[in-house]
Amino acid sequence: MWKFWLCFGAVFLSCSGYTWPLPDQLSAAQQRELKELQQDVETEIEELCCQNELKRCCVEKKKSLAQRNMEEWEGLIDSLKELKSTPDEEEAIKWLEEYNEELRQRNVRNAEANWAQATNITDENAAKVVEVTLEVTKWSLKKMEEAKKFDTSGFSDDVKRQFKMITTSGSLSDEDKQRQLAEIGTELEKIYSTGTVCQADGTCLKLDPDLEGIIAKSRDYDRLTWAWLSWRDAVGPPMKDKYAQWVALLNEGAQENGFADKGVLWRGAYEMPDGKLEEMVDAVWEQVKPLYTQLHAYVRRKLSEKYGADKVSTTGHIPAHLFGNMWAQQWNNIYDIVVPFPDQPEIDVSDTMVEQGYDALRMFKTAEEFFKSIGLRPMPQTFWDKSMLTRPDDREVVCHGSAWDFYHLPGDTDVRIKMCTKVNQEDLYVIHHEMGHIEYFLTYEDQKTLYRGGANPGFHEAVGDTIALSVNTPGHLKKIGLLQNVGHNQDFEINELLKMALAKVAFLPFGLMIDKWRWRVFSGDITPDNYNTGWWNLRMKYQGIKPPVERTNKDFDPGAKYHIPSGTPYIRYFFSFIAQFQFHQALCKEAGHDGPLHKCDIYESKAAGTKLKNMLSMGESRPWPEAMKAITGQEKLDPSAILKYFEPLEKWLREQNKDEKLGWD
């Protein structure tokens, strides 16, 4: 800090070389003020030291002069602190430090309780989740009141940001209502996770793997209808009234805190003025819709050929149960029905994985290897010790895959994945997805607790998927021994791109409509009497699909999708499915990839890894456009990368569909 004050005579009158101490906990405005003072003091010292001494500077003299001015400088800082209510900001910073540490410790307990319940559903564990949730709510409310006492207007941006996060809340003040809300939440998730369907012969089926397996593999129209319908009938109706109560309570909490409804709070995670997020995703959807419409028309034709024109018309909506996926959200399981060039080498590696004796652990190690190859961190030992990688058979669990941060301090890391892994290519992708969350946790673990989050929720969802875009290239699958033959012709490429489109493009309208439904449920546009009709109106409009049998408002089909009962916002996935192609494109450029985007594999590129790491390490400390800029150089959600990726396929589909009636209205 202390540097000697040296003047070298008339020729060099510069007094640089001296570093003025600038306390960094001052606000930006105060820092500017001090800098101005610094200029003044420097000029003064310069005159004293150099000009009055007639260019013969005595080093000792300079030192003492500097020392004296230093004292003056510090005096100035002190008086400024007093004058400008700086004590408040210092106090605020201290308060925040304690807040962040206590929040961290509470997050640890919260995660522990939720983990216990998610990996072992019992009434006792559910009750603990409710208690911890109530404790958290109570504490946050208390802290919010404390936080509101600070006048943050003159504080630095970073301090302001933290206060904003703390004081943005939708918590109910009434303790009975808090409890009701927590209990309904746990109950809804339990109905979903323990839902079973029993057959005439007395055997009972679970969603994962039984019913999902039927939908994925059966090609019997009636069997598919049965599985589709039974799941919805099993879990939907018992949830419906509870869901309406849950929405009412969430809205009440939001309104108590000055928000129009809970949807406003959810959208707040994107730090955009209300209305702008929906505007943004709508604009992106308009740009990708032509590609989706081409895919839709092509798949509809193939399904019509497979099941008959009486079952699937070639002009209207497609029945929702024929896509190989319980929610018709991704269609890759019917690749065999729609494959453009069946004579080309196989690109699904599921069978090969089984033949080569893959198990869950080996699949996770395979994923970890990729992350390590670009310079990201290996999973800590506790990850392997504590994760739940397969479905246990001695208890009920929430099978829906998830990644967990236990908010430990660096050096004592505890991060875990919970999933019911099956040996197939789809789950290999899911593992990369979940491990992407873990890498994000690991990379921002030394941020303040409040900033241990994604730049926005969509960023968090996009990390693993970005990596999986490299992993799932035939080139990479060959490299790791899962594919023997890779075609090098256009037909093979069309197969490859179509398979990818079934997962990525097919998802887009689904990713968009889920929260369009919930935003309208929260705002009251869709009332409980119209939950199901409102749901299907959006499914029909955006996805161009319809229920295979007539549905009424007695049904509650939204409840059959995990994120509805679990209360997880969904627009993050739409964001992610666009952003991951932007990330992929940026990382491929960094890796020096040359050629079409869909062939890029960033394996072993430390340059790409560093670029990614730099963005991940920011956590939630800055608004997302800055994180977007750090990795892609642009600040927007931009569909041009996904469109570029699928350009050859879109061209091919247009040719195939030239005689089709596109769309479904």
Ligand X SMILES: *[C@@H]1O[C@H](CO)[C@@H](O)[C@H](O)[C@H]1NC(C)=O
Select 81 or 584, whichever has its Cβ closest to Zn ion.
584
Question: What residue has token string 């990479």?
Answer: 476
* 395 assigned binding-site residue: no
Nearest distance in Å: CB 464, Zn ion: 7
Task: Single out the segment in contact with Zn ion by CB under 5 A; choices: 132-140, 153-161, 456-464, 642-650.
Answer: 456-464
Q: Which does 124 bind (CB under 5 to 8 A by kind): ligand X, Zn ion, none?
A: ligand X
* 654 assigned binding-site residue: no
* Residue 332 to residue 325: CA distance in whole angstroms: 8
* Residue 16 to residue 13: CA distance in whole angstroms: 9
Select 119 or 605, whichever has its Cβ closest to ligand X.
119
Question: Is residue 194 part of the contact set for ligand X (CB under 6 A)?
Answer: no
* 355 assigned binding-site residue: no
Q: From the candidates 563, 584, 593, 598, which is the catalytic residue?
A: 563
Single residue of 122, 527, 614, 634 touching ligand X by CB under 6 A: 122
* 433 assigned binding-site residue: yes
Nearest distance in Å: CB 561, Zn ion: 15
Question: What residue has token string 């008086």?
Answer: 79
The Cα diameter of the chain in Å comes to: 107
* Residues numbered 129-158 forming contacts with ligand X, rule: CB under 6 A: none
Select 222 or 393, whichever has its Cβ closest to ligand X.
393
Q: Which does 122 bind (CB under 5 to 8 A by kind): ligand X, Zn ion, none?
A: ligand X
Select 125 or 472, whichever has its Cβ closest to ligand X.
125
The strand pairing partners of 416, in sequence order, are 404
Select 131 or 336, whichever has its Cβ closest to ligand X.
131
Parallel/antiparallel/unpaired status of strands 318-319 and 204-206: unpaired
Nearest distance in Å: CB 395, ligand X: 6
Select 49 or 420, whichever has its Cβ closest to ligand X.
420
Residue ranges of alpha helices (H) inside 168-270 are 175-194, 212-217, 221-256, 262-267
Nearest distance in Å: CB 597, Zn ion: 23
Question: Is residue 665 part of the contact set for ligand X (CB under 6 A)?
Answer: no
Catalytic residue status for 408: no
Q: Which does 120 bind (CB under 5 to 8 A by kind): Zn ion, ligand X, none?
A: ligand X
CA quadruple 561, 565, 570, 576: dihedral positive or negative? Answer: negative
Q: Which does 395 bind (CB under 5 to 8 A by kind): Zn ion, ligand X, none?
A: ligand X
| Preceding amide of 209 cis, omega within 30 | yes
Binding mask 461-480 for Zn ion (x = CB under 5 A): x-------------------
Residue ranges of alpha helices (H) inside 483-525 are 490-504, 507-523
* 53 assigned binding-site residue: no
Per-residue H/E/C for 545-557: EECCCCCCCCCCH
* Residues numbered 391-420 forming contacts with ligand X, rule: CB under 6 A: 395
Select 120 or 537, whichever has its Cβ closest to ligand X.
120
Question: Is residue 125 part of the contact set for ligand X (CB under 6 A)?
Answer: yes
Question: Is residue 124 part of the contact set for ligand X (CB under 6 A)?
Answer: yes
Q: From the candidates 212, 434, 439, 493, which is the catalytic residue?
A: 434
Query: What are the E-state strand segments in 573-650?
Result: none
* Residue 515 to residue 656: CA distance in whole angstroms: 33
* Residue 492 to residue 345: CA distance in whole angstroms: 7
Question: Is residue 120 part of the contact set for ligand X (CB under 6 A)?
Answer: yes
Nearest distance in Å: CB 186, ligand X: 13
Count interface residues toward ligand X (CB under 6 A): 5
CB atoms within 10 A of CB 78: 11
Of 573, 564, 615, which is closest to residue 454 (Cα–Cα)? 615
Burial code (b: 16+ CB inside 10 Å, e: under 16) for 240-253 equals bebbbebbebbbbb
622: left (phi > 0), else alpha (psi -120 to 50), else beta? beta
Task: Single out the segment in contact with ligand X by CB under 6 A; choices: 116-124, 216-224, 549-557, 624-632.
Answer: 116-124
Q: Which does 590 bind (CB under 5 to 8 A by kind): ligand X, Zn ion, none?
A: none
CB 407 within 8 A of CB 107: yes
Of 588, 583, 569, which is closest to residue 522 (Cα–Cα)? 569
What are the distances in angstroms from CA 225 to CA 229, 306, 396, 554, 623?
Answer: 6, 15, 26, 19, 45
Q: Which does 38 bind (CB under 5 to 8 A by kind): ligand X, Zn ion, none?
A: none
For residues 33, 39, 44, 46, the Cα torsion angle rounded to the nearest 10 degrees is: 160
Output the known binding site for Zn(2+): 433, 437, 461
Output the known binding site for chloride: 270, 572
Q: Give the residues lining the site for Zn ion (CB under 5 A).
A: 461
Output the known binding site: 270, 433, 437, 461, 572
Q: Give the residues lining the site for ligand X (CB under 6 A).
A: 120, 122, 124-125, 395
Active site positions, annotated = 434, 563
